[in-house]
Amino acid sequence: MPDVKTRIAPSPTGDPHVGTAYIALFNRCFAHQHGGSFLLRIEDTDQQRSTGKSEQDILNALSWLGLSWDEGPDVGGDSGPYRQSQRTAIYREHIQHLLDKELAFPCFCSSDRLTELRREQMVAKQTPGYDGHCLQLEPGERKRRMDSGEAHVIRMVVPREGDCRFDDMLRGEVSINWAQVDMQVLIKSDGLPTYHFANVVDDHLMGVTHVIRGEEWINSLPKHALLYEYFDWESPTFCHMPLLRNPDKSKLSKRKNPTSINYYQDMGYLPEALVNYLGMMGWSMPGGEEKFSLAEMEAAFDISRVSLGGPIFDIEKLDWLNGRYLREDLNDADFASRFVVWASKDDRLHKIIPLIKPRVERFSDVVGLASQFIDGVVPLTPAQFEHKALSQDQCLRILQFSLWRLESLSEWDRDAIETAMQTLAAQLDLKIRDFLFPLFVAISGKAVSTSIMDSLAILGLDVARARLRNALSVLGGVSKKLAKNLDKEYRVLGQAEQPD
Ligand code: GLU
């Protein structure tokens, strides 16, 4: 049996997600426990949504957690490049092999035809999927149309009958009817591969022996298994981990729980506590200890002990565990030095000084003024939102709209935040002073404080989001129904002035 090799394959399309760290942790434990290695591959085939910043943030966040990798875009290795955007020639060569064997075919169908097909299938209550139209074309015609440069994608041939059966390390045999499996696009019209194709080719070429990933990929496995068969490659062993859940059992989402690793770093959690907590998601130490280090987890690891019930990511439990680490593992000197490192993260102190300096008369004023930049969620009461020109409902509306607007920013800096807030105030037809009042209270806990734009810029979106959410709940919360109404209102805001 070849040496065990596992991988984490994040797509750099957003904030570093705790779910990525969770899957990375289990892959790393599995590999190390078998004396194998663990690699990191960047899956940036979605050119529209992938960014260099997101890639860097993911690498930084996993490094902060101590989940280092043996091969990857930053550390190199024998199977690189480890970024899919640099592997286009490899995919081209491999798709040609499938085309030559007629296991894949060009599809020239227009998006109009595909939309109409989907509509008809919906009406007829059939599983939506490609109907094989271009599979009927004669080889000569296929070649002529491809050579003439006609726009096309490349799809894989998929059997229409029978079942695809495969083994999952946690679930045993899984069976999916081929009729449920679409003739997946492998190469898009821009010549780039889809996730499914690039993922299988890379796992094989990089020597991955065990694919341990989130449960959301299990329905894709027939496509992957079929590609291994088409290439006549030995398939890796698959293991689909249960998804992390919110306390209400829904899939962990940032609407309900902070999901960005940056948030946990900004709020002052210790990386070793967060890794320990992620290790408790669906898994437990044989002796039932709740507090364990990464090394202890690796030494005792056994993947068959993963339980399939959706593990709940519960921040209160994480708080309890983090508190234990702070009290039990850090002596006073370590506590002091790690606190200072945390408080000065991203040069935060230097950013705060120019904001508070105009307001201080003594050094003893500093901590009071600086606290809002260092605190997590500031305590609030509904009375703090009383205002001569705004009702509490209006305050709630301003806060919710501001949160949505801030979440949509692609750049997080003072100017971008200021422009966004001024535009929103104008769209709501409010004086900027009145508009900013609930934001001041929500963010700083005071009606007057240092510049709100600077505060938001320094705090970052994750902490700002937590404070705005807290303010919304202090104002009575946003029920599903209210959210729907607010969403309707928000969508039409400023539409009149938008160019068409
Ligand atoms: N790029 C995929 C993701 O972002 C990887 C899924 C897999 O592990 O196969 O989740």
Is the model more confident about 404 or about 410? 404
Q: What is the CA radius of gyration of the chain?
A: 26
Q: Tell me the two tokens of residue 168.
A: 């999952």
Nearest atom of ligand 1 to the alpha carbon of 213: 8
Q: What would the mean pLDDT of 340-353 be, rounded to a whole number?
A: 91
Specify the pLDDT at position 499: 43
Q: 165: which strand partners?
A: 175
How far, in Å, from the CA of 437 to the mean position of ligand 1?
Answer: 43
Nearest CA to ligand 1 atom 6: 9
Specify the pLDDT at position 496: 52
Enumerate residues 6+ apart whose C-beta is below 8 A from 356.
Answer: 365, 366, 369, 370, 450
Q: What would the mean pLDDT of 4-23 be, rounded to a whole number?
A: 97
Residue carrying the six token digits 């090799």: 5
Q: What is the pLDDT of residues 152-210, one digit of tens each?
A: 999 999 999 999 999 999 999 999 999 999 999 999 999 999 999 999 999 999 999 99
pLDDT band at 498 (very low <50, low <70, confident <90, very high): very low
Specify the pLDDT at position 1: 63
Termini Cα distance of the chain? 61
Active site residue 53: no
pLDDT band at 355 (very low <50, low <70, confident <90, very high): very high
Q: What would the mean pLDDT of 93-111 be, rounded to a whole number?
A: 97
Check 188, 254, 291, 317 and give the catalytic one: 254
Residue 125 clears pLDDT 60, i.e. is over it: yes
Residue 500 clears pLDDT 60, i.e. is over it: no
Nearest atom of ligand 1 to the alpha carbon of 211: 8
Q: What is the pLDDT of residues 443-466, one digit of tens each?
A: 998 877 778 999 999 999 999 999
How far, in Å, from the CA of 39 to the mean position of ligand 1?
Answer: 13
Q: What would the mean pLDDT of 117-146 be, rounded to a whole number?
A: 94
How far, in Å, from the CA of 184 to the mean position of ligand 1?
Answer: 16
What pairing do the DSSP bridges indicate for beta strands 5-8 and 37-40?
A: parallel
How far, in Å, from the CA of 207 to the mean position of ligand 1?
Answer: 17
How far is it, in rounded angstroms, from Cα 480 to Cα 95? 46
Specify the pLDDT at position 449: 73
Nearest atom of ligand 1 to the alpha carbon of 7: 8
Question: Could you tell which of 11, 30, 84 is best to mutate to test the pocket of ligand 1, judged by most ligand atoms within 8 Å of the CB?
Answer: 11
How far is it, in rounded angstroms, from Cα 367 to Cα 359? 12
Q: What would the mean pLDDT of 313-327 be, rounded to a whole number?
A: 97
- pTM for the whole structure: 0.93
How far, in Å, from the CA of 253 to the mean position of ligand 1?
Answer: 17
Task: Count the helices and strands in the chain (H runs, E runs).
Answer: 19, 9
What residues are in contact with ligand 1 under a 6 Å CB criterion? 9-11, 43, 195, 199, 213, 217
38 within 8 A of 8, measured Cβ to Cβ: yes
Q: What is the pLDDT of residues 360-397, one digit of tens each?
A: 999 999 998 898 888 899 999 999 999 999 999 999 99
Nearest to 58 by CA among 25, 97, 15: 15
Nearest CA to ligand 1 atom 3: 10
Specify the pLDDT at position 270: 98
How far, in Å, from the CA of 196 to the mean position of ligand 1?
Answer: 9
Question: Could you tell which of 85, 195, 202, 237 is best to mutate to test the pocket of ligand 1, judged by most ligand atoms within 8 Å of the CB?
Answer: 195
Percent of the chain whose pLDDT exceeds 70: 98
How far is it, in rounded angstroms, from Cα 37 to Cα 30? 9
16 within 8 A of 62, measured Cβ to Cβ: yes
How far is it, in rounded angstroms, from Cα 297 to Cα 300? 5
How far, in Å, from the CA of 321 to the mean position of ligand 1?
Answer: 29
Axis-axis angle for helices 414-427, 392-407 (nearest 10): 140
The vertex-429 CA angle with 424 and 433, nearest 5°, equals 75
Nearest atom of ligand 1 to the alpha carbon of 23: 8
Nearest atom of ligand 1 to the alpha carbon of 195: 1
How far is it, in rounded angstroms, from Cα 395 to Cα 442? 10
Q: What would the mean pLDDT of 473-488 be, rounded to a whole number?
A: 94
Residue 22 clears pLDDT 80, i.e. is over it: yes
Nearest CA to ligand 1 atom 10: 10
Residue carrying the six token digits 């829904």: 250
Q: Tell me the two tokens of residue 37.
A: 């290695």
Question: Could you tell which of 15, 217, 221, 251 is best to mutate to test the pocket of ligand 1, judged by most ligand atoms within 8 Å of the CB?
Answer: 217
Q: What is the pLDDT of residues 255-290, one digit of tens each?
A: 788 999 999 999 999 999 999 999 999 999 999 999
Residue 299 clears pLDDT 80, i.e. is over it: yes
pLDDT band at 253 (very low <50, low <70, confident <90, very high): confident
Q: What would the mean pLDDT of 3-17 be, rounded to a whole number?
A: 96
Nearest CA to ligand 1 atom 8: 213
